[in-house]
């Protein structure tokens, strides 16, 4: 069974105060884009994982791998002992703020649900996904959606067209936990009260009407300052995108991938070429969204 699952960019990521349980309440607007991993599940007596393609040397293949954890959680939910050899063809950056690990977990859930003939509905898979991580449920459904709570409580958002993006891929990753910790540190140092996160109405309208110019003006990420503090070299990359005509530039999620909104597909290709030609990014990939979540192919 082969499942294709997309990367994501956060067009709004508003982070509330630190909670007693160590998490933050979020308003997290996810947008699935056309950079994909593929997860293949084959019959086996045990659950294993192999990773091929880009970034494969950066992905653990032990019990910490999120796809293995997803398969085991699914088997436990079904109350049976199952096996699967999982093969991940990696194209989504690792620790890049694009939910690559979460995408693989979602792919494993869909692939194993089919391989094992469980026939579980999407509601069951979403429940299991929410226990695995805040981004995993969105990787199942794709499209555009707002996540609240830790980000796992999803409401799908209507999108009035296709948006075109360029992603500048950085060398090395950033730990999500480290970026959140830095965000908390910066806020504590500033001494300002952290507001409760609110959905940006102007961003909602831009998504609904398909207005790329308005969406570019309303991109926001409360983790960006922390990511830039940990990786200062990202700031010139973001600036370069604006200099080459990007409608908006933002760190994707916890970074270090930088996302640039383009006018159309042609502009996206030109922007990607300009970023690499000038050395602002060593790799820049054009993509579009929204796209479907985890799907059998």
CA R_g for the chain: 19
Q: Phi and psi (nearest 5°) for 220?
A: -155, 150
130 annotated ligand-binding residue? no
208 annotated ligand-binding residue? no
- Residue 236 CB neighbours (<10 A): 13
297 annotated ligand-binding residue? no
102 annotated ligand-binding residue? yes
76 in active site: no
Single out the residue of 74, 105, 126 nearest to residue 5, CA to CA.
105
272 annotated ligand-binding residue? no
Taking the C-alpha atoms of residue 124 and residue 101, their distance in angstroms, rounded to an integer, is: 20
93 annotated ligand-binding residue? yes
Exactly one of 8, 37, 90, 222 is catalytic; name it: 8
Using DSSP's 3-state secondary structure scheme, residue 135 falls into coil
8 in active site: yes
137 annotated ligand-binding residue? no
Single out the residue of 171, 257, 241, 234 nearest to residue 249, CA to CA.
241
Task: Tell me the longest C-alpha to C-alpha distance in the chain.
Answer: 56
101 annotated ligand-binding residue? yes
Exactly one of 37, 91, 104, 135 is catalytic; name it: 135
Single out the residue of 12, 4, 3 nearest to residue 248, CA to CA.
12
94 annotated ligand-binding residue? yes
Binding-site residue numbers for ATP are: 93-103
Catalytic residue numbers read: 8, 135
Binding-site residue numbers are: 93-103
């Amino acid at each position: 069974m082969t499942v294709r699952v997309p990367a994501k960019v956060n067009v709004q990521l508003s982070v509330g105060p630190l909670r007693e349980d160590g998490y933050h309440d979020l308003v997290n607007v996810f947008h699935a884009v056309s950079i994909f991993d593929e997860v293949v599940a084959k019959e086996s007596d045990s659950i294993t994982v192999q990773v091929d393609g880009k970034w494969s040397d950066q992905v653990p293949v032990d019990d910490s791998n999120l796809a293995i954890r997803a398969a085991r959680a699914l088997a436990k939910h079904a109350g049976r002992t199952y096996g699967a050899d999982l093969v991940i063809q990696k194209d989504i950056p690792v620790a890049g703020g694009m939910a690559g690990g979460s995408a693989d977990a979602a792919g494993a859930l869909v692939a194993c649900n089919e391989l094992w003939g469980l026939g579980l509905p999407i509601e069951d898979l979403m429940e299991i996904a929410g226990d695995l991580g805040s981004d995993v449920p969105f990787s199942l459904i794709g499209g555009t959606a707002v996540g609240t709570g830790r980000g796992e409580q999803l409401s799908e958002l209507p999108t009035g067209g296709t948006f075109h993006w360029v992603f500048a891929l950085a060398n090395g990753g950033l730990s999500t936990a480290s970026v959140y910790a830095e965000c908390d540190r910066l806020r504590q140092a500033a001494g300002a009260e952290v507001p409760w996160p609110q959905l940006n109405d102007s961003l909602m309208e831009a998504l609904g009407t398909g207005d790329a110019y308005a969406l570019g003006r309303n991109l926001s990420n409360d983790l960006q300052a922390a990511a830039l503090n940990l990786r200062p070299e990202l700031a010139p990359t973001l600036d370069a995108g604006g200099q080459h005509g990007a409608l908006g530039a933002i760190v994707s999620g916890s970074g270090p991938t930088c996302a640039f909104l383009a006018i159309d597909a042609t502009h996206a290709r030109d922007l990607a070429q300009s970023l690499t030609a000038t050395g602002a990014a060593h790799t820049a990939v054009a993509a579009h969204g929204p796209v479907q979540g985890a799907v059998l192919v």
